[in-house]
Amino acid sequence: MNYRYFSPIGAILLMSTVVTQAQSLSSGFMSGRKHGSVSISGTQEWYESVYLVPEKVDQVPIFRRINVRSVSLYANYGITDKIEAVLSLPYVRSEGNADPLVTQNSPYTNVREGLQDVSGLLKFKVYSTELGSSLLNLLGVASLSTPVSNYKSEQGLEYIIAIGNRATKVSTLGIAQLQTASGVFFTGQAGYSLRSGRVPNAFVAETKVGYAGPRFYVDGWAAFQQSASTGTDILQPGFDGDFTATRVDYTRLGVSVFRPLAQGFGLVLGASTYVSGRNVGKSTGVTGGLAYNF
């Protein structure tokens, strides 16, 4: 059976927040042996309100409004038809809007930036079967993420704008994707992430529906995270100023679009927003980039 679709997974760069990766680096597509892609994208995010406990607040403490800009490199490569490797590295600039009287002669600064965390994963196709005119694929993923620079994320309200939590993360995921002959697909994935230091472990999941065809790709997705109850809540009893120890939950909705241009190159566009959460900014983000598929 021939399934006519264009698989631009390497091109769909994933919007991220300062602290957590909001969308999975894994999709239900496989590039195939000796095929893959290289992408570069830029993302702009902003937020003023924050999902705290017991309720959302309308302004970020001290910094009032936060803007996050990032540039990400992404590459994936099919080692075999059933094994694929993925690598991602973002450079992040987080900028607050604290009053100059606050930042003058104090540890507070309105800007923190640097290389964040390098992420690598291996994806395995473990099962594939035809269901009528559709194809069902089951995949497994093992990933590792760790800081690559000496950026700081320590105790103190000045680290509200830290570019990451300096945790090493080891995660596993299971993915199921149903791909129809028309190019429409449905994907679901779920897994667990172990984090070092005081960062709570977390259950992560994502659902996605889209279309992958020879002329364009589009999807809509919802990403979820539920942190372990061992985490603390910002400015609540038990919170000692260490933001890495907070319990971060969220639901984020987004869309991604890829349009092939010429000779393997293509344009990447996307947008996303948080619709609920815990100890996380209610950010909205847009992204754009260029990908080369081979």
Whether the per-residue pLDDT at 255 is higher than 80: the answer is yes
Q: Residue 161, SS3?
A: helix
Q: Which residues pair with 40 in a beta bridge?
A: 73, 290
Give the H/E segment covering residue 259.
Answer: strand 249-260
pLDDT band per the 50, 70, 90 thresholds, residue 20: very low
CA–CA separation, 145 and 149 (whole Å): 13
Task: Kindly report the number of other CB atoms within 10 A of residue 53's CB atom.
Answer: 15
Check if the beta carbon of residue 17 is closer than 8 Å to that of residue 280: yes
Q: What percent of the chain has pLDDT over 90?
A: 82
Whether the per-residue pLDDT at 16 is higher than 70: the answer is no
pLDDT at 251: 98
Give the H/E segment covering residue 24.
Answer: none
pLDDT at 137: 98
Whether the per-residue pLDDT at 72 is higher than 60: the answer is yes
More confident of the two residues 276 and 54? 276
CA 95 to chain centroid, in Å, comes to 19
Whether the per-residue pLDDT at 65 is higher than 60: the answer is yes
Q: Which of 206, 218, 215, 204 shows the shortest CA–CA distance to 177?
A: 206
Whether the per-residue pLDDT at 199 is higher than 70: the answer is yes
Whether the per-residue pLDDT at 12 is higher than 50: the answer is no
Check if the beta carbon of residue 256 is closer than 8 Å to that of residue 242: no
Mean pLDDT of 207-221: 95
Mean pLDDT of 3-18: 41
CA–CA separation, 125 and 128 (whole Å): 8
Q: What is the pTM of this model?
A: 0.90
pLDDT at 285: 96
Tens of pLDDT, residue by residue over 103-146, are: 887 788 999 999 999 999 999 999 999 999 999 999 999 999 99
**Phi, psi torsion values for 91, nearest 5 degrees:** -105, 125
Question: Residue 100 carries which side chain, given as an amino acid letter?
Answer: P
Instruction: Return the structure tokens found at 121.
Output: 């994963």
DSSP 187-254: EEEEEEEEESTTPPPEEEEEEEEEEE-SS-EEEEEEEEEEE-TTSB-TTSTT--SBGGGB--EEEEEE
Tens of pLDDT, residue by residue over 176-194, are: 999 999 999 999 999 999 9
Residue corresponding to tokens 């129809």: 180
Mean pLDDT of the chain: 91
Task: Show me where the domains of the chain are located.
Answer: 36-293
**Phi, psi torsion values for 110, nearest 5 degrees:** -85, -5
pLDDT band per the 50, 70, 90 thresholds, residue 13: very low
Task: Kindly report the number of other CB atoms within 10 A of residue 256's CB atom.
Answer: 24
Q: Residue 165, SS3?
A: coil
pLDDT at 161: 94
pLDDT at 6: 45
Task: Round the CA-based radius of gyration of the chain to a whole number and report it.
Answer: 19
pLDDT at 3: 45
Whether the per-residue pLDDT at 31 is higher than 50: the answer is yes
Q: Which residues does 207 contact at the CB level (< 8 Å), separation at least 6?
A: 187, 188, 221, 222
Could you tell me the fold of the domain covering 36-293? Porin (2.40.160)
Give the H/E segment covering residue 294.
Answer: none
pLDDT at 7: 47
Whether the per-residue pLDDT at 14 is higher than 50: the answer is no
Whether the per-residue pLDDT at 257 is higher than 50: the answer is yes
Whether the per-residue pLDDT at 67 is higher than 90: the answer is yes
CA–CA separation, 265 and 123 (whole Å): 24
Query: Comparing 31-45, 101-115, 128-142, 278-292, which segment has the lowest mean pLDDT?
Result: 101-115
Q: Is the preceding omega at residue 237 within 30 degrees of 0, hence cis?
A: no
Mean pLDDT of 143-165: 93
Whether the per-residue pLDDT at 19 is higher than 50: the answer is no
Write the Ramachandran bin of 58: left for phi over 0, alpha for psi from -120 to 50, otherwise beta.
alpha
